[in-house]
Amino acid sequence: MSDRYTKSKELYKKAITLMPGGVNSPVRAFAAVGGEPVFFKRGQGAIVTDADDNKYVDFCQSWGPLILGHAHPKVVEAATLALQDGLSFGACCEKEIELADLVLEAFGEYDRVRFVSSGTEAVMSAVRLARGVTGRSKILKFDGCYHGHADHLLVKAGSGLITQSIASSAGVPDEIASQTLVAPLDDEKAVEQIFEKEGNEIAAIVLEPMPANAGLLVQRKEYLQFLREITLKHGALLIFDEVISGLRLRFGGYMHEVGITPDIVTLGKIVGGGMPVGALVAKEEVMEQFAPNGTIYQAGTLSGNPVAMAAGKATLELLKEGSVFEHLNQLGKVQDECFNALKEKYAFFNFVRQGSVSWLHLAEGDSPRSPADVKPEAIELYNKHHRDILDRGYYIAPSAWEVAFASVAHQKEHIEGIANAWEDIFKKYM
């Protein structure tokens, strides 16, 4: 039998001689799920094509940015037109203003936005802003929540770190790590105890309100409201990291789903339409403390890049119309029907969904709300059968801790297809 991944294996063999682990982001190495990574050369709509010309229905969608699917015509057209005027200026351009208008329309509680080049940079800047505004140095984050790879945020993080069972990163000085306090998710008492002890030193709580980097860990609204209240009580800021959830469930953020207004919201992924863009939004009195008006320095040569701004604008204009979310909500109902039917047949199966974000927890019991609730057997089962799903023509994240994303390019048959693929695997191996 011929090997369907011959070219990918050849490329990986070359890549490992040039880049650490052969990759530029650790989870891509397929270390958790085994085998060599797949190399892609083309994406169109819901379909990606690898170096060996195998086609897959893509439920990763570049880890979330591609809510419109790969190479959406209007986004490609906007970026192409911008390219013709120049790749980068390192100076002001009108496209920054156009995207800023749309972002602030989606997040109407705020009146200032600053664009950066990644979600990591957005959260890093938000933390610096909170420290500068409050004059305090410590931040409180939560076990399993991933906020990018800035030093002070790589303490008990999720995403690739949890995939590799790394609680924190080498290269982060103890002096920096000591300024980051960590609490378990879904535990009011633990947060209260931290604030009782160190509340006067805490600049901010930073949280994914819809944690999606250590599984999809849906939080209670009451818990999120508690975090809002305790920060107000102690004079700390509340930062919602909506790099994944922002613009994913609606033309707005998860904050609008739960009715809670944080002091700062960070965005990424969708806001750039697939290009490297991040952003943070806040009220004028907070955001204007950034340079050049204030004393908190933040800068970026490629911030406000005209091509990225054009792609983001085209994406947000389509999201604003509402039909994208109507389609995604209909797909969500199909997902519920398909995967809940599987759950009835297989006791070890658990399906969690928030809008077009979903996660399989292949174990019995309630849906986890913290990483500690994620069962090892669920991780083992997912990793064991990841390649089986690939072989059946579906690309899913190479980590059991990562979520899946649907796009407007996905159709009912794509959802039914992957559900059938999982059932086929269960029948064959269970």
Confidence band for 251, pLDDT divided at 50, 70 and 90: very high
Encoded amino acid at 253, one letter: G
Radius of gyration of the chain measured on its C-alpha atoms: 21
Q: Please give the pLDDT value at position 211.
A: 96
Which alpha helices (H) appear in 278-349, and where do they start and end? 284-287, 306-321, 323-345
**269 noted as active-site residue:** yes
Q: Please give the pLDDT value at position 148.
A: 83
Tokens of 117: 């080049």
Q: Please give the pLDDT value at position 156.
A: 56
Annotated catalytic residue, options 12, 269, 382, 395: 269
- Residue whose tokens read 């015509």: 73
How do residues 302-317 score in pLDDT, each as one tens digit? 999 999 999 999 999 9
Over residues 250-266, the mean pLDDT reads 98
Residue 292: asked if its preceding bond is cis (omega within 30°), the reply is: yes
Tokens of 426: 């269960």
Q: How many helices (H) does the chain have, and how many strands (E)?
A: 14, 14
Q: Hey, what domains does the chain have and what are their CATH numbers?
A: 6-71+322-429 (3.90.1150.10), 73-321 (3.40.640.10)
Provide CB contacts within 8 A for 80, sequence distance 6+: none
Q: Taking Cα atoms as reference points, which of 149, 211, 163, 145 lies closest to residue 399? A: 163
Residue 95: strand, helix, or coil:
helix
What percentage of the chain has pLDDT greater than the value 90? 86
Annotated catalytic residue, options 241, 254, 382, 395: 241
Tokens of 274: 């697939």
Annotated catalytic residue, options 5, 146, 382, 394: 146
The average confidence (pLDDT) of the chain is: 93
DSSP state of 190: H
Confidence band for 172, pLDDT divided at 50, 70 and 90: confident
Provide CB contacts within 8 A for 115, sequence distance 6+: 96, 99, 100, 277, 278, 279, 303, 304, 309
